[in-house]
Amino acid sequence: MAAVPGVRRSELADALRACRTAFVGVGLMSCMINLLYLTGSIFMLEVYDRVLPSRSIPTLVGLIIIASFLYAAQGVLDMIRNRILGRIGTALDEALNKRVFDTVVRLPLLIGSRNEGLQPLRDLDNVRSFLGGMGPSAFFDLPWLPLYLAICFAFHVMIGVTALVGAIILVGLTVVTEFMSRQPAKDAMGLAAQRNDLAASSRRNAEVMVSMGMTSRMNQRWSEANEKYLVGNQRASDVAGGLGAVAKVLRMMLQSAVLAVGAYLVIHQEATAGIIIAGSILSARALAPVDLAIAHWKSFVAARQSWQRLTRLLEQMPAQTMPTQLQAPTSRLSVEGVAMVPPGDQRLIVQDITFALAAGNGLGVIGPSGSGKSSLIRALVGVWQPVRGKVRLDGAALDQWSSDMLGRHIGYLPQDVELFGGTIAQNISRFDPEATSDGIIAAAKEAGVHEMIIKMREGYNTQVGEQGGALSAGQAQRVALARALYGNPFLIVLDEPNSNLDTEGDEALTRAIRAARERGAIVVVVAHRPIGVEAVDQILVLRDGRMQAFGPKEQVLAQVLQPRVTPPAPIKVVSEGGVAKS
């Protein structure tokens, strides 16, 4: 199919289009399989019309041999067709799984927490599972229904009419199934996502739930969510299962009706006995794909909805293009009139921030809670995109870099530290497969965490556990600091890096900031405690999302920390001699 000018084709459709050769093969095999399905009807026709009247055993043996060979060929072709369909699903997954995973990662940065979590990955699984199941086979067999009906008409018009009426009824039932199952299946999918999100959040906050006596209440919420899901899922299953049962009963009734019509024709000597059986088998076979399609309609509807969601998602989040690779930044960070809006929100939380830092500068960002400090540094590292203004490294805006290339020049320690399952060495090296031991140890030493690591039982090979659960909060924060320093990045951004540190950790943090500045890096630190800004030379004060002050540390701190309330005048006391004393 030729592409329409100006219309962007779906990535999913393109991935399936790449498998068109396999689909052509499946179509040809479906042709052969459906022709071979005639084996049973022809065999019964020959037995009743030739073998029984002639009583010829050699003819019967010959028919059995031929039928056995054809049945075997049909089974082999059916097996190959199913395997090809399964591999089409696998090929689709291989073509898109990285793109879908990328959208899962990027989606919260664009629309905030109001996203579907891991739903895109589940959608891809639904599409792949459907392609590898029996559903597509039914749709490939449906176009052959007219062939079977034509053969029924060739036997006799009345047999053909009976089969045609049955086909019309079942096709109508398929249309009814489509309309009745669409909304229940959609509702069940949404309820399943809500239930899964509740389970995941409860698992992450298990300590809070147990320690604060929230387990029973959260259990009740889970029960309510699960009950809604079960009701919705049962409604979808009832619709699909009920219509499937009706279709099966109608198909059996049709088979009996064809037998009755055949018997009537034989009584009136308008057909042979073999036509009775052959017509019954053919009519049943003609409607078998319709029956199979109805039975798998629930999975078809789920796959179609998943396909539509994935198509919309991939269109909204196109693949990132690889820009021209720029030289590593070495001299300057500039922030030009930056204004920030949280993903999925419309409220400005950072407005008109402008400043510049040179290589070797250290900036401390201070201000009350909610003043926009964390939002600003998310813009500095390229996590959030400003709605106005630009953040530049050596004059190049951050959006001129690919995220992978930009990440090599940035070290980031977020406020909420979370490590990945793996070893300490892997987490420090950012899971770089080409990381060297020297580079990992150098980052650990710069962060002052090398001695702590080698005292562990397995040293750098210690498993940190899921979300870093095997380490204390302070240990995890220090390992995350080493991760931020790995590779000697030019821009290092630390959001409250000492929130979980003891005195030893604070001293190591100060040494790390000074060492990074001495080698020419720019360090930005968000802090609530004075120890956090001890090693910087510049201070930025934020209040209500606006820049209140910026400049050399001593000058700004003197301005910000000066008393705001005029001290009371000395109280004058009059002595007995009439002399005023203060």
- The 10s digit of each residue's pLDDT in 423-451 is 999 999 988 888 899 999 999 999 888 99
Distance CA 21, CA 5 (A): 25
CB atoms < 10 A from the CB of 234, how many?
13
The architecture (CATH level 2) of 332-561 comes to 3-Layer(aba) Sandwich (3.40)
Is the pLDDT at 8 greater than 60? The verdict is no
350-358 and 332-340 strand pairing:
antiparallel
The structure tokens 């209140």 sit at 548
Q: Regarding predicted confidence, which is higher, 382 or 296?
A: 382
φ, ψ for residue 489, nearest 5 deg: -65, 155
* Residue 87 near residue 130 (C-beta atoms within 8 A): no
Q: Regarding predicted confidence, which is higher, 343 or 58?
A: 58
Is the pLDDT at 138 greater than 70? The verdict is yes
388-393 and 396-397 strand pairing:
antiparallel
Is the pLDDT at 524 greater than 60? The verdict is yes
Is the pLDDT at 480 greater than 80? The verdict is yes
* Residue 254 near residue 284 (C-beta atoms within 8 A): yes
The predicted pLDDT at position 467 comes to 65
Per CATH, the homologous superfamily of domain 11-316 is: ABC transporter type 1, transmembrane domain (1.20.1560.10)
Q: Please report which helix (H) or strand (E) contains residue 494, including its range.
A: strand 491-495
The predicted pLDDT at position 580 comes to 43
Per-residue pLDDT band at 322 (split at 50, 70, 90): low
**pLDDT tens-place string over residues 75-123:** 999 899 988 888 888 888 888 888 888 887 777 776 655 555 677 888 8
The predicted pLDDT at position 286 comes to 79
* Residue 74 near residue 37 (C-beta atoms within 8 A): yes
The predicted pLDDT at position 565 comes to 45
Q: What is the mean pLDDT of residues 370-389?
A: 87
Two domains, one topology: 11-316 and 332-561:
no
Instruction: Name the residue ranges covered by the structural domains of the chain.
Output: 11-316, 332-561
Average model confidence (pLDDT) across the chain: 81
The predicted pLDDT at position 569 comes to 46
The predicted pLDDT at position 571 comes to 42
Q: Regarding predicted confidence, which is higher, 163 or 333?
A: 333
The predicted pLDDT at position 153 comes to 86
Is the pLDDT at 561 greater than 50? The verdict is yes
- Specify the range with the lowest mean pLDDT, choosing from 142-146, 362-366, 527-531: 527-531
Q: What is the mean pLDDT of residues 333-357?
A: 87
φ, ψ for residue 379, nearest 5 deg: -70, -35
